[in-house]
């Protein structure tokens, strides 16, 4: 227990120190939200990666997709690296930086407003972002609370509140630069932690060869895709190749339309840095996402299946139960810091995106156009606190699977924004009507799906 406490205490101290140091460098709203558009490739790449992969991936998706697809879930991580990172940097990076500088846009709603010359689009986009980033952030808290409760025996409510307070302090103090500096430290922890955890899980299964042999003997449950297939969970494409392909595309291309991800390209210091950042981000994604999903593929060796083929515990509990069985105290301390890093890095990016959107696009854009720079910074900091409070209250609401919260917000934001943003960068003939249709279709599909699931029980 002492080792875990020391790990967490050192992590907290480093996090707060960076927030205090970067507070001195925040002199304008541009500094607070964009880091003065002078962030280097390493910090930008790590910030992109740590924002992409939160505790939802390590705890929720790794457990769920690993259970359903076996070790072929690694393909999801590979797709996240090549499509979600490398291709995103190649297609969006340079054009986003150039156009947002040319238009003077610091948020995605502001981009829509100036690119399509429509103030109502700005308001609609701002409301969509704030509403759907709240459940996204709640899913981040949920992922943290499970592993933290297991490691320390602390009620998950205190874990959620503690993380919100710590993240809020460094974001409110140092803004975007404090966020990316912490993301860099958090990214290093995530890289080291994933490698050690994968090694420990394989070792707990008797080594790589023995673990593969044991997993190959697991039969596909009746009524499931791949039923009767021998060695399905160690095969190249798993028991459900089409389902796997769908997950690969959704988790990779969906990130292109998320405002907190695209925001990274607004802030990078030069076009030359984009190539280097793309490589760094891709390697980071391959290790973190690939390692997480590969590890989750061995979940069936540590968690029993019920009569219906589903795990005897919730999908969110598969990875924590695996780790509890194989990790010594010192590595469990590292895992706690890893999950903290993954959670806080994503949460801080969500907070910056939502708070700046409310200030720049709603308050300054509609209610008080003559808002001074210092007033904008004060309001943004206050909105950071408000966003934290609302997301904490949602996270404390019991009984919601974290991957469902993630899917709701991911689907709504990506569905609404991906096409208007991408076409807005490359095609001059996009109309306002087309953007409105995209907004309505993306949000409408998610809401209809939620209603259908609720009515079907």
Q: Which residues, other chains included, contact 153 with Cβ-Cβ below 8 Å and sequence gap of 6+?
A: none
Which residues constitute the domain of residue 221?
Answer: 2-455
Q: How far is CA 157 from CA 10, 54, 114, 148, 225, in A?
A: 22, 19, 42, 11, 38
Percent of the chain at pLDDT exceeding 90:
40
Run of H or E residues at 270: none
**Residue 132: which residues within 8 A CB-CB, separation 6 or more?**
408, 409, 412, 413
pLDDT band at 7 (very low <50, low <70, confident <90, very high): confident
- Angstrom distance (rounded) from CA 71 to CA 68: 9
d(CA 233, CA 53): 24
Per-residue CA distances from 311 to 5, 68, 80, 306 (Å): 31, 10, 25, 6
Q: What is the pLDDT of residue 223?
A: 64
Number of structural domains found in the chain: 1
CB 290 within 8 A of CB 77: yes
Output the pLDDT for position 143: 64
Mean of pLDDT over the chain: 87
Max mean pLDDT among 133-147, 327-341, 437-451 falls in 437-451
Dihedrals phi, psi of 211, to nearest 5 degrees:
-65, -40
Confidence bin at 82 (pLDDT 50/70/90): very high
Residue from 394, 373, 386, 68 nearest 233 by CA:
68
The answer to whether 153 and 146 have CB atoms below 8 angstroms apart is no
pLDDT surpassing 90 at residue 434:
yes
What's the confidence (pLDDT) of residue 405? 66
d(CA 87, CA 326): 36
Query: What span, in angstroms and rounded, lies between the C-alpha atoms of 26 and 29?
Result: 8
Answer whether residue 338 shows pLDDT above 60: yes
Percent of the chain with pLDDT over 70: 94
Task: Identify the residue whose tokens are 């759907």.
Answer: 132
Q: What is the pLDDT of residues 35-55, one digit of tens each?
A: 888 899 999 999 999 989 887
Residue 215 has pLDDT above 80, yes or no: yes
Q: Compute the Cα dihedral for 438, 442, 447, 453 and give only its sign.
A: positive
Q: Does pTM surpass 0.85?
A: yes
Q: Give backbone dihedrals phi and psi of 39, rounded to 5 degrees, phi first.
A: -85, 130
Q: Which helix (H) or strand (E) holds 268?
A: none
Tokens representing 371? 């808002």
pLDDT in tens, 131-186: 888 877 877 776 666 677 776 777 778 888 888 899 999 999 999 999 999 999 98
CATH of residue 201: 1.20.1730.10
pLDDT of residue 274: 95
Helix 259-267 to helix 402-426 angle, to the nearest 10 degrees? 50
Residue 230 has pLDDT above 80, yes or no: no
């Amino acid at each position: 227990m002492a080792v875990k406490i020391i790990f967490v205490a050192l992590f907290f101290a480093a996090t707060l120190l960076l927030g205090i140091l970067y507070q001195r460098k925040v002199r304008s709203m541009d500094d607070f939200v964009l880091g003065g558009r002078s962030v280097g490739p390493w910090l930008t790449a790590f910030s992109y990666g740590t924002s992409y992969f939160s505790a939802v991936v390590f705890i929720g998706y790794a457990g769920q997709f690993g259970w359903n697809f076996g070790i072929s879930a690694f393909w999801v991580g590979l797709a996240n690296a090549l499509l979600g990172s490398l291709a995103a940097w190649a297609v969006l990076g340079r054009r986003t930086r150039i156009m947002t500088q040319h238009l003077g846009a610091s948020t995605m709603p502001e981009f829509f407003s100036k690119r399509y010359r429509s103030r109502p689009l700005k308001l609609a986009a701002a409301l969509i972002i704030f509403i759907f980033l709240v459940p996204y952030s709640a899913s981040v808290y949920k992922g943290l609370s499970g592993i933290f409760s297991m490691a320390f025996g602390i009620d998950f409510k205190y874990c959620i509140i503690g993380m919100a307070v710590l993240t809020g302090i460094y974001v409110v103090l140092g803004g975007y630069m404090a966020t990316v500096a912490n993301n860099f430290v958090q990214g290093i922890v995530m890289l080291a932690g994933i490698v050690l955890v994968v090694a420990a899980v394989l070792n707990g299964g008797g080594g790589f060869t023995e673990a593969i042999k044991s997993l190959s003997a697991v039969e596909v449950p009746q009524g499931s895709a791949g039923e009767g297939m021998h060695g399905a969970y160690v095969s190249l494409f798993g028991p459900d190749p089409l389902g796997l392909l769908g997950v690969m595309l959704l988790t990779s291309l969906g990130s292109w339309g998320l405002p907190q991800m695209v925001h990274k390209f607004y802030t990078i210091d030069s076009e030359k840095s984009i190539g280097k950042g793309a490589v760094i981000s891709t390697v980071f994604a391959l290790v973190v996402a690939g390692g997480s999903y590969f590890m989750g593929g061995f979940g069936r060796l540590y968690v029993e299946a019920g009569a219906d083929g589903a795990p005897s515990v919730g999908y969110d509990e598969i990875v924590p139960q695996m780790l509890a069985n194989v990790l010594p105290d010192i590595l469990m301390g590292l895992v706690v810091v890893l999950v903290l890093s993954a959670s806080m890095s994503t949460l801080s990016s969500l907070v910056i995106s939502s708070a700046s959107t409310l200030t720049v696009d709603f308050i300054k854009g509609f209610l008080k156009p003559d808002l001074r720079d210092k007033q904008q910074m004060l309001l943004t900091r206050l909105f950071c606190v408000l966003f934290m409070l609302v997301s904490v209250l949602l996270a404390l609401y019991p009984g919601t699977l974290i991957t469902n919260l993630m899917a709701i917000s991911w689907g709504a934001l990506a569905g609404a924004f991906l096409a208007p943003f991408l076409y807005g960068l490359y095609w001059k003939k996009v109309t306002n009507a087309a953007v409105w249709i995209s907004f309505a279709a993306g949000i409408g599909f998610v809401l209809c799906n939620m209603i259908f699931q609720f009515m079907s029980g």
